[in-house]
Structure 1
Amino acid sequence: MHLARLLAATCLGTLLSACQMLPGGSGRLEPQRHAWEHLKPGCQGETCPLVNIDTISFADEPQLNALINERLLRMTQDAPGSPLPASLESYEKDFLASAEPGWSSYLQAKVLEQHDNLVLVELSSYLFTGGAHGMPGRGFINYDRKLEKPLSLGDMLLPGQEEAFWKVAEQAHLRWLATNKLDQDPDFIKTWPFERTANVGLGYGAMLLKYDVYSIAPYSSGHPEIRIPYPQLNGILKPQYFPGRG
């Protein structure tokens, strides 16, 4: 169990840290990090339940701070429609109070990229409550500093272009299959067909599509990421969201 926890923490930290690229001009936001890890009170040993939280906030960006906090809290929901915890601290308290030996919960938020008045935040979670492995989660926040709001896919696209966007995404999925040498495996293609995802990010080098485990690939593949080069989105993506035009 100690090894599983180490792998979970390493996976989350590496994936979020290794991709922290901040191209673009001046005026970047400087995130403040808030990180802690607590064990179940009174417990000692490697199987003690734990909660590890590693999040960020920004000076003078209350809307973005509240959004990050809310999205992390949503990642703690273990069933659709279940009530949100009042705070990360109350979630930690309730989780540890009922946790069994070996259980663990990790929550992270980190800036992935900043460019063109956009802040791309990646959210990450990992919950282990027994079984062969834990359940990881991922999500993006595309925050437009000029509009002071998070962007939905509809906000990013020109009117009437959503179906065209997903056709381009399907082509990117075919390239992903070929890159990973899966395009010649009919069983894989039948078992794991292309799906749409809510996790779309306005990266600097490409538009990013992040998938949950068990969506377009088995658990062992982690969170697949499909990249769409921006030239393929001409006439689909709003001009101001092409890097360098914002």
Structure 2
Amino acid sequence: MRPLPLFALAYLPLLGACQWLAPQPASPAVQKIAWEQRAEGCQSERCSLVNVETLRISDVPALDAQIERALLAMTREADGQPLPASLRGYADALLAESREGRETWLQAKLVDRHGDLLVIELSSYLYSGGAHGMPGRGFINYSLSRQRALQLDDLLLPGQEDAFWTAAREARRDWLKAQQLDQNRDFQASWPFVPTANIALLHDKLQLKYDVYALAPYAMGHPTLEIPYPRLQGVLRPEYLPAR
């Protein structure tokens, strides 16, 4: 029996809020939307399915649309593959094409809310046969005041990108030590540090979460690097550092 993705088995509690320097607009209500669709008429034990857990954010339709686009992007199996029009449309097409042996699990969950930010974690797991499927991760750091997702350039002071990735390399050294790999030169040569776009601006730290095969072999899952905010003084814009 093939393993199910971890996020399909457990739901992490929301992290607590924290007072930040940025003004705090009214926080919208967040509704969880969950559905599963299976291949119609399939009687096999390996019927294809699409399982979706997503969010609806009250009065923020732009974020709803961005979450759906991001989840759809995680269904791509090749670079340049066009995006389906909707999650339901994706499910209909996949299940019509492959009645057996395919599974797609997609999830968007709110992992933090603080100041004017909503931090959404995106998860995917695509199975098309073999020993295991391919998981994916991503984040949306959505600013309610700016009404858009923040990119790394929005977070950094001018000219501080190199300093940011230096702090990330320090976090990788912390991770290697925690994994008891800090003295393993072969591992470090085989899995060198690389940047990632998967950045979460949490209330108590900045987190980088890597896809499988990026910093480590598949069996080690999604390596997570954590940068304490004191290391980012003079690197992040002051409005994205916690109030002291």
The answer to whether the superposition gives a TM-score over 0.5 is yes
TM normalised by structure 1 equals 0.93
Instruction: Give the structure 1 partner of residue 193 of structure 2.
Output: 194
Give 1:158 shift: 0.3
Unaligned runs of 5+ in 2: none
Instruction: Give the structure 1 partner of residue 98 of structure 2.
Output: 99
Pairs within 5 Å for 1:117-156? 117-156=116-155
Relative to its length, the structure with more helix (as a share) is 1
Q: Indicate yes or no: 2:28 matched with 1:18.
A: no
Instruction: Give the structure 2 partner of residue 35 of structure 1.
Output: 34
Corresponding letter in the other structure for 2:116: N
Corresponding letter in the other structure for 2:18: G
- Change in 2 beyond 3 A, CA 1:19/1:160: farther
Give 1:242 shift: 1.0
Give 1:13 shift: 3.9
Instruction: Give the structure 1 partner of residue 212 of structure 2.
Output: 213
1:140, 1:200 within 8 Å by CA — same for their partners in 2? yes
Q: Indicate yes or no: 2:111 matched with 1:116.
A: no
Secondary structure at the counterpart of residue 110 of structure 2: strand
2:42, 2:99 within 8 Å by CA — same for their partners in 1? no
Instruction: Give the structure 2 partner of residue 162 of structure 1.
Output: 161
Q: Which string of whole-angstrom CA distances, capped at 9 and with x for unpartnered residues, describes residues 44-64 of structure 1?
A: 242111110110011100111
Aligned residues: 239
Instruction: Give the structure 2 partner of residue 83 of structure 1.
Output: 82
CA distance in 2, matches of 1:24, 1:201: 15
Q: Which string of whole-angstrom CA distances, capped at 9 and with x for unpartnered residues, describes residues 132-171 of structure 1?
A: 2100000000001111110000000001100110011101
Q: Which string of whole-angstrom CA distances, capped at 9 and with x for unpartnered residues, describes residues 77-112 of structure 1?
A: 111111000100110011111225221000110101
Unaligned runs of 5+ in 1: none
Instruction: Give the structure 2 partner of residue 230 of structure 1.
Output: 229
Cα RMSD (Å): 1.5
TM normalised by structure 2 equals 0.94
Instruction: Give the structure 2 partner of residue 54 of structure 1.
Output: 53
CA distance in 2, matches of 1:89, 1:55: 12
Corresponding letter in the other structure for 1:101: E
Identity of aligned residues (%): 47
Q: Which string of whole-angstrom CA distances, capped at 9 and with x for unpartnered residues, describes residues 161-196 of structure 1?
A: 001100111011011100110111111111111110
